[in-house]
Amino acid sequence: MKFRDGMWLVAEGKRLEYAEEVYSINEASDGKKVTLLCPTMQIRSRGDTLNRPTLTVELEAVMDDVLSVEVTHWHGAINKGPHFELFPSGKPQVNAGIQKTEGGTTISAGNLSATVSSKPHTFDIRFHSKDGKQKLTSLLSRSVGLAYDPATSSPMQTADMRDIKHYILTQSTLGVGEQVYGLGERFGALNKVGQAISLWNADGGTSSDQAYKNIPFWMSNKGYGVFIDATERVELEVGSERCCRVQTSVQGQRLKWHIIYGPSPKEILDKYTTLTGKPGKVPSWSFGLWLSTSFTTEYDDATVLSFLEGMKSRDIPLEVFHYDCFWLRAFHWCDFVFSPEHFPDPKASIQRLKASGLMKKVCVWINPYLGQASPVFAEAAEKGYLLKRKNGDVFQWDLWQTGMGIVDFTNPEATKWYVGCLNKLFDIGIDSIKTDFGERIPSKDVVWHDSSLDPEKMHNYYAFIYNKVVYEALQARYGKDEAVLFARAATAGTQQFPLQWGGDCESTFEAMAESLRGGLSLGMCGFAFWSVDIGGFEGTPDASIYKRWVQFGLLCSHSRLHGSNSYRVPWLVDNNDESDQGCSAVLRKFTQLKCRLMPYLYSTATESIKHGWPVSVRAMAIEYPEDKTAWLCDQQFMLGPSLLVAPVFDESGEVEFYLPQGKWTSFWDGQIIEGPKWVKETHKFDTLPLYVREGSILVLGKEGEKRTTWDWTKDVEVKTFFPNQGSIFKLVDPENKELATITAMKEGEEWRVKGAEVLA
């Protein structure tokens, strides 16, 4: 939302008042907070203190290297929930201090400081490293303010605020060459500078400025991140109202954000996820290939069996079979009952399929909506389990399902009932849940069971509680570390309930690139696990797009074949081409490659969970923050710290990618390229650029491995790639038991592996 018309004018219809000076500074007795009283004019006489708004700015040391900034106009405004659940694993101690000098007042938290200038009649707050060597950002003149819409001409008008919108805004400075990343799973340009962004969950596909996963966190290439502690709609102008500032605004009387000093991206993510929660652990089987029925396709028991047998006959290892929407009866979504016409005995059918070894686990699609045709709607409505309108009616509309209602998870009894419905699915043999939707949550004319909650704030936050309910139900049934979702909607903190996938993309190379940008962006917000609809969701991919998407999708942390109105089994895409360049051969090769990578993948995942780093589609800058080019790369990614992947986005097989400094070894043929360098290659469908970083130690399964879980001390090989003093690989098993720590040591002129003795 823009509040100005260029630099000189206020936008038509708005009134804007800025903090013009810091009139007084109060220090908290514990040395962790300073409170600034900031009038909206410079106070040069006693009369200037009358009939004038003030803004209060509180700077608080939250944890080491994290300071919060809270701006408030009227303190008497009720601060309704929901609020983000901060420090879910416990709040760490903070090394805080306040120091006064001739130049100003400085509050510090660990290695991060903020200095409030002591210059008279000035509003000037500078954020910097404690040692003063690194300048981060600032709040300067006309950078903290309040706004009215429509514009008021007299303070008397604010006696009735029912038709007046009130906003709080801040504008933090952008330095020369500064870039901004994150803000959720966004499909446009990776660097957000120049974009106007509204953090409001929406079902808009992957080809618009809407997002399923709006995360109020962004990271700068200058060594810091900002977490906006606001569950409501947040509007950002990232260098798009003032080119040298990031403007953040909310409707209300207060705005709070945290500035997080890294200085590296990895350190920023570690501290951010300490604030909002570390990613949850996922079971090793979930890394294998998932096959879906697709969305609106016609399928039944016979169809499922034919797909599974077709995969086995082609030697394509399959871990999970997913039943999408039409496992349910038409108009009955989502009532948790298999369609008896298509699946007369689902429990027996699932038992037979698991016993046959055709697949190991089963997932089903659900959402938090209830169509009124189903008996569960009447039950839920009668018991008060559904969201209501202000007049007491159940909130309903015909968007998606006829007369659908929305489960009100703020009602503990509704949550308990919903978990009971899930348990009936688990009794049948369901192991995982695709938690679709959760974005279309109304914010007008609704009342939640917990009436203390603000409907505007519940819109984005609903994704958190919906996924939390289902994730914890899976944990209760299968164990803490055996739960896994396939979720679409998210907000800050939802990384605790993995995993998320990229939503509805088209079956094109352009959509494949959009999806990658979305995954890179989400990974820079503390989400460790991410997937994508291999082949694209909308439309029917041709064989070229399908095979290139298979390569990309099998090198994501999680991999699922899924579409809308056409199947995604490979033999139906290319008329059963049995050549080594056919869809089946490519899918077989990359599925087996992923199985072979499992010791590396799982150890990478263990480290990623600990720190809040993405496992795959890891932005190049996370590994190479000092490389300016790495920050610009949005068509390639790191798979963990050691593997560089460059998907092919052209039918010709031509691809151009960037190798940072060091020696890079082709995974396929051992070719060595010295970076930094841009490289052009042409690939058939059985390869893509996959390079191993200098200094890497990899533990790999045998060629043609078809398992995701086995004893990773057996049937493996250790490979080194120009090892050095920093080379290390920690091999862990699915129970997080450390199996081996493998390092490199120099003997004479050669480097040798140490610690691999346990591997058979």
d(CA 489, CA 169): 26
What are the C-alpha distances in Å from 394 to residues 380, 391, 461, 533? Answer: 10, 9, 20, 34
Q: Is 439 a catalytic residue?
A: yes
Residue of 7, 192, 135, 174 lying closest to 631 (CA atoms) = 192
The set of residues, in sequence order, having a beta carbon less than 8 Å from that of 670 and lying 6+ positions away, is: none
Long-range contacts of 124-127 (CB under 8 A, 24+ apart): 124/22, 125/57, 125/59, 127/67, 127/224, 127/259
Contact (Cβ atoms closer than 8 angstroms) between residue 394 and residue 381? yes
Candidates 21, 504, 533, 705; catalytic one:
504
The set of residues, in sequence order, having a beta carbon less than 8 Å from that of 700 and lying 6+ positions away, is: 596, 597, 599, 600, 716, 717, 719
The position carrying tokens 């200058």 is 222
How do strand 559-561 and strand 533-534 relate by DSSP bridges?
Answer: parallel
Both tokens of 600, joined, read 């590396």
Residue of 701, 691, 640, 687 lying closest to 670 (CA atoms) = 691
What SS3 state is found at 598?
helix
Candidates 439, 454, 482, 538; catalytic one:
439
Q: Which helix (H) or strand (E) holds 292?
A: strand 289-292
Q: Is 703 a catalytic residue?
A: no
Candidates 203, 241, 408, 436; catalytic one:
436
Judge if the upstream peptide bond of residue 595 is cis by omega within 30 degrees of 0.
Answer: no
What are the C-alpha distances in Å from 557 to residues 163, 197, 221, 602? Answer: 48, 28, 25, 10
First to last CA, the chain: 61
Q: Is 160 a catalytic residue?
A: no
- The b/e string for 12-38 (b: 16+ C-beta within 10 A; e otherwise) is eebbbbbbbbbbebeeeeeebbbbbbb
Residue of 708, 710, 207, 712 lying closest to 484 (CA atoms) = 708
What SS3 state is found at 721?
strand
Helix residue ranges, H only, 227-384: 265-276, 301-313, 346-356, 375-382
Both tokens of 491, joined, read 């907000």
Both tokens of 184, joined, read 């959720």
Q: Return the number of other C-beta atoms located less than 10 Å from residue 341's C-beta.
A: 9
Long-range contacts of 20-26 (CB under 8 A, 24+ apart): 20/121, 20/123, 20/141, 21/120, 21/121, 21/122, 21/123, 22/57, 22/116, 22/117, 22/122, 22/123, 22/124, 23/54, 25/105, 25/116
Identity at 353, one-letter amino acid code:
L
Q: Return the number of other C-beta atoms located less than 10 Å from residue 358's C-beta.
A: 18
Positive or negative, the CA dihedral 191, 193, 195, 198 is: positive
Q: Any idea which residues carry the catalytic annotation?
A: 436, 439, 504
